[in-house]
Chain A
Amino acid sequence: MVKKLRFVKLISVARKARTVTRKYPFEGPLITEEFRGEVRLDPKKCIGCGACIIICPPNALTLHDEGDVRVIRYFVGRCIFCGMCAEVCPTNAITITKEFELATLATEQLLRDLVHERVKCRICGKPFLPAKLLKAANDDIPGSDNYIDVCPECRAKLGLKGILEHRMG
């Protein structure tokens, strides 16, 4: 008889467990300190190098060069919150936040744009790379001051001209 009634034990299990449902959103959500949510790009630290764009598995981060600006666009709707971008960022401009309440009725609200001014080539006048990126590159490669504000195409021509001048005397 006792064995047959063993299932009644559920009452004691339930009494001990009590209410476990959290009254979210009136109470805080159940997330741990390790939770990865939306990432945030710091416009001050970002140099626009595009390392995050290359690593991003779902292409949530994209890069567009348009006219005078380079736009780094973060589309939260595609983000899988893996945090690979924060890992590869050379200037630690990307931080992983705990933000997950991202639902919205308008897709545009899920777009975060970061705009970099592009430097104009001193020879041809065409905009090519963000100023900050050039500065970072210049710091990395000593002695590159002469070429730093020249676009890659003009740089090639310049280099060739230099060699030719050297050869021809």
Chain B
Amino acid sequence: MSEEEGNSGQVVKGSEEAIFLVENLLRKKLSELPVKIYRAAGDSIVVEVPRRYLRDAANAVHNDLDAYVRTCAGCDEREIRGIYAVYHILGLDNYGVNVIIKVAVPENDAKVPTIADIAPGADWCELEFRDLVGIDLTGRPTHRLVLPDDWPDGLHPLRRDVPYGVRPPPVKREEVSLIEIERPGIPVGPYHPALHEPEYFELYVEGETVIDVRYRGFHVHRGIEKLAESKLTYKQIPFIAERICGICGFCHSTCYVMAVEKAAGIEVPERADYIRAIVLEIERIHSHLLWLGVACHILGYDAGFMHTWRIREKIMALAEYLTGSRKTYGINIIGGVRKDINKEKVPKVLEVLDFVEKETKNLADVLLSVPEVKRRLTGTGKLYREEARKLSVVGPVARASGLYRDVRKDYPYLAYKHVSFKVPLYTEGDNLARTLVRVEELFESISIIRQLLDTMPGGDIRVEEYEIESGRVSVASVEAPRGEDVHFLITGEGRPYRWRVRAPTYQNIPALRAMLRDQQLADAPITIASIDPCFSCTDRLVIVEVSGGKVRRVRRINVVKVAGGKVW
């Protein structure tokens, strides 16, 4: 048992008692500051703090209370209050409580102090709201992260007065190349050869050793957040939420509906909670098998790749049998689920689980004994615990570096409080540890599904009648196969006022820099793959459709202008 878990022994995570404790702690810690502390929907506490005390408050919560950055969001609230607002969402794992630090930003002086030096996990999301909402940052070097280089200055797509679907003419800029490092940059991308997703890494090498790495992403902007905030209705969004990711779609739709249900106080029938949890675990099994296969493929062991995917196919068919779609699409709605898992289906599920468990055990045994695979996984792509904590990494990456962090345990949701399972924990932090965490989780997932099927209560699977009040704030999170998904929601009239999605890869990519440095170049592909990156998830949110041709874009990406020599 790790120390983090030990701390929380006294209170049930996420319970009323825990929230009360955190509230008192906050009052004590922040007593010197002029703050307003109040409860938001569910397990969240809002701390409203004046702009000039933001850094003090963030420091107290992040460092003294041992919280970590879940995400942050900028919001254009000029229509309601005549201000912009910035929300920093910090998670207190030990209590299962979210603390939302809210800062009001006046319209005529849209600037906030940075907290990225206090909490490095906030680095990206700060730059994101700078790009999208146009709230500038003070006290840190800034550069464009999300918007493409030829997007005009001063046009911030997530502002409410910018209509959906704006396509401004591209702005020609002088291209400045990276000159700080006079080493050959080896490009990986803009299309990952094995993961089949757009990303771009530039590896700087000295001989065969990687000395630095830069990442340029956000190529697959789809504008989902803007679309939801300006065009769709509450009921339509689950169907676009599940399309944020091609693997963990159900995690995103669950996360969204949970955020809405929390905000509106909708009591979901227990049976629906069980069904959602079962489908989530099925998704985890197929995702981990997929990853295992791809890892073998990258290491040149294609026989292993084919056999893992042979086993995975059974799980995909099972997902289709339970939800009507191989990708588990289309059954999550606000208030419950649309498809029941009735008694007749249970024997078939158990049969498939038995098959998958047996076959995977056999195969994992073989895979991990292949000398090439073992040697290339062991000791490569190391991420040490301290670094992992500082960067707020999540999911199997965190657990392989000795951080006991799992949303299913820390922020109990759905039916997970009714089952017992182990969270695999390794301290080595190398590629082998991340592989082993995933393999073990697979078996835990199988056991979770068996327990859930065994104890599933009867009753309805959905509630039809509900009302969603506007102006409520909620945070929901789900442990996706790659880590935690966090959805932050402010309700509005008929559709969310603000819906912020943070995918796990968003937190994990910055850790790649630490993993790749001083490694052999040949190990870079497997190390990049070892965080199980999902670039589409990460890039989900801008409206941008660059009008320039593809070839031009590739060339441009090569020459990102960097302020202060930092791309991260």
Chain A: residues with CB nearer than 8 A to chain B? 3-4, 6-7, 9-10, 13-14, 17, 20, 30-36, 55, 57-58, 80-84, 87
Contacts and interface: CB of A to CB of B under 8 A. Distances in A.
Nearest to B313: A20
A80 B307 contact: no
Contact of B303 (A4, A10, A33, A83): A10
A80 B330 contact: yes
A32 B320 contact: yes
A13 B369 contact: no
Given A13-B362, A82-B329, A35 B369 contact: no
Contacts of B359: 13
A153 B303 CA distance: 71
A58 B268 CA distance: 25
Contacts of A35: 320, 324-325
A14 B303 CA distance: 9
Contact of B310 (A20, A30, A36): A20
Contacts of A57: 232, 235-236, 239-240
Given A6-B366, A10-B366, A82-B330, A34 B240 contact: no
Interface string B297-322: 00000011001001001000100111
A6 B364 CA distance: 11
Interface string B233-250: 001100110000000000
Contacts of A4: 371
Contacts of B307: 10, 13-14, 17
B363 A36 contact: no
B404 to A, nearest CB: 31
B324 A7 contact: no
Contact of A34 (B322, B362, B369): B322
B370 interface: yes
Nearest to A9: B366
A6 B359 CA distance: 16
B418 interface: no
A36 B325 contact: yes
Given A30-B317, A34-B323, 5 more contacts: A6-B365, A9-B366, A36-B324, A82-B330, A83-B330
Interface string B116-137: 0000000000000000000000
13 contacts: A3-B369, A6-B366, A6-B369, A7-B370, A9-B365, A13-B359, A13-B363, A14-B303, A17-B307, A32-B321, A34-B321, A35-B320, A57-B240
Interface residues of B, number: 30
A6 B368 CA distance: 9
Which residue, of A32, A33, A84, has the highest number of chain B Cβ atoms within 10 A? A32
A7 B179 CA distance: 47
If over half of B's interface residues share one DSSP class (helix, strand or loop), that class is named, otherwise mixed; here it is helix
Interface string B88-118: 0000000000000000000000000000000
Nearest to A55: B235
Contacts of A3: 369
Given A32-B317, A34-B321, A87 B370 contact: no
A81 B366 contact: no
A61 to B, nearest CB: 13
Contacts of B239: 57-58, 80, 82
Given A17-B310, A57-B240, A81-B330, A7 B320 contact: no
The 5 A-B pairs of least Cβ separation, nearest first, read: A82-B330, A57-B239, A6-B369, A36-B324, A7-B370
Interface in B181-237: 232, 235-236
A33 B320 CA distance: 9
A127 B140 CA distance: 65
Contacts of B339: 34
Given A31-B320, A34-B324, A7 B366 contact: yes
Nearest to B309: A20
A31 B324 CA distance: 10
A10 B322 CA distance: 31
A13 B308 CA distance: 11
Contacts of B313: 20, 30
A33 B344 CA distance: 13
B310 A7 contact: no
Contacts of A14: 303, 307
Contacts of A30: 313, 317
Nearest to B239: A57
A31 B342 CA distance: 19
B311 to A, nearest CB: 9
Interface in B140-172: none
B375 interface: no
Contacts of B330: 36, 80-84
A84 B330 CA distance: 8
Contacts of A82: 239, 329-330
B338 interface: yes
